[in-house]
Structures are given as C-alpha cells and as structure tokens.
C-alpha cells in the first residue's frame, strides 16, 4: 500500500503494532528569524495565494520554513523534496520532505539514516498523520539496526503539528504551533533539527 492509502492513524497503529501516546516533548531552541524572511512571508500571506492546494502549501509555507532552519545544518543533512521512500509493498510513496544524512558520496545520493518526515494536508490532520506515521515507520525500518528517533511534521501551512517515533512508541506533541507565531514555530522546528544533529553525532562517535 502507498502511504496515501492510509486514512486514519488508528489503521496504521493496528497494522504495524505501534503504541500511541501524547506528550509535550518539544524543548527550547531559539532561532533568529531574519527580517527578510519575515517581510517575504508577510508579503506572501497578504498578497499571494498560499494555500489553495497541498503543492502551494508546500512551496509557499512549509518549505521556506524548513529551508531556513536546514541552512544552519546543511553540512550534515540534506533536505529532500518529494523523493521516493520505499520499504516494501505496504510502505512506499513520496513524502513531501525528508531530512536525511548527507552522504559522503555527494549531495545527489539519497542516504540513510532518515530523521524527519513531513506531510502537507490542506486541513485533514487525521489523514495527514496516518500517512506521516506510515512514512516514519518506513524510515525507521529502512534505517535498520540504527536506533534513531524519527520525527514527523504534519502541516496545513498555518498549523504545524509534531510527532516522534521511538522504537514502537509514537508520541504526538500536544501543543501545536502556527505560522502567525513565527518565533515559536521556528524554535520548535529548530529543536527537531538539533535532536537530529545530536543523534547523528552520537552515531559518528559510537
């Protein structure tokens, strides 16, 4: 089944025997949002059409935020857009965005471990999380014996929700973030990137 075949998070939990919990796990990781970014976003929100489709949401609202944070971590990670992720016939498809380790063979090589999966949905967060969790499970299995916490983000451009998959336990962050409170949103995204960096450094040191 393609990731898009999953419609409810309960369906995914049952299919792959994952335990669901809720908790606030996002820590503090302040991020300095540039004036240029603020002005550009304000222009797009005021005068542009930013949320008429999932593609539009990705291009205008989700990717700009992810890219701005990723630039601080680009020496170690690649942010892939709409790249295929295939584990088996039940877990395959094209997540909106994937954060993966930068390959020593160069930036064009899609290399594990995979750390963050991002799914865009216009407003159906239930379906968004079903698909995102399936993508997180695929990433976890593709990572093999590497015991890495996989993070997930589901967003409609305005509201951003976060989750993590650690072993067989999926935790959804209770607090969500909005693009109207941009400093809090960037701090949350930056925290996720920091956790990925820590995990990667621990793998290298091991």
pLDDT tens per residue, range 66-81: 999 999 999 999 999 9
Can you give the CATH number for the domain in which 173 is found?
3.90.1570
Q: What is the pTM of this model?
A: 0.96
Total domain count for the chain? Answer: 1
pLDDT by position in tens, the chain (length 206):
689 999 999 999 999 999 999 999 999 899 999 999 999 999 998 998 888 898 899 999 999 999 999 999 999 999 999 999 999 999 999 999 999 999 999 999 999 999 999 999 988 899 999 999 999 999 999 999 998 999 999 999 999 999 999 999 999 999 999 999 999 999 999 999 999 999 999 988 76
Phi then psi for 71, rounded to 5 degrees? -55, -30
- Between the two ends of the chain, the Cα-to-Cα distance in Å is 36
Q: Which domain holds residue 26?
A: 3-205
Q: Which two tokens stand for residue 118?
A: 């991002």
């Amino acid at each position: 089944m393609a990731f898009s075949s999953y419609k409810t998070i309960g369906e995914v939990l049952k299919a792959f025997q994952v335990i669901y919990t809720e908790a606030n796990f996002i820590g503090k990781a302040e991020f300095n949002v540039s004036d240029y970014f603020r002005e550009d976003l304000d222009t797009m929100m005021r005068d542009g059409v930013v949320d008429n489709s999932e593609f539009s949401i990705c291009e205008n609202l989700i990717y700009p935020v992810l890219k701005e944070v990723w630039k601080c971590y680009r020496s170690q990670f690649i942010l892939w857009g709409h790249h295929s992720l295939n584990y088996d016939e039940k877990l395959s498809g094209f997540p909106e965005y994937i954060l993966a380790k930068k390959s020593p063979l160069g930036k064009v090589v899609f290399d594990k471990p995979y750390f963050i999966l991002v799914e865009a949905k216009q407003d159906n967060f239930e379906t968004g999380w079903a698909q995102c969790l399936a993508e997180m499970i695929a990433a976890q299995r593709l990572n093999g014996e590497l015991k890495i916490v996989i993070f997930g983000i589901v967003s409609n451009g305005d509201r951003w929700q976060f989750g993590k998959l650690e072993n067989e336990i999926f935790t959804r962050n209770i607090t969500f973030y909005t693009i109207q409170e941009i400093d809090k949103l960037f701090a949350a995204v930056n925290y996720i990137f920091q956790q990925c960096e820590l995990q990667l450094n621990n793998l290298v040191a091991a």
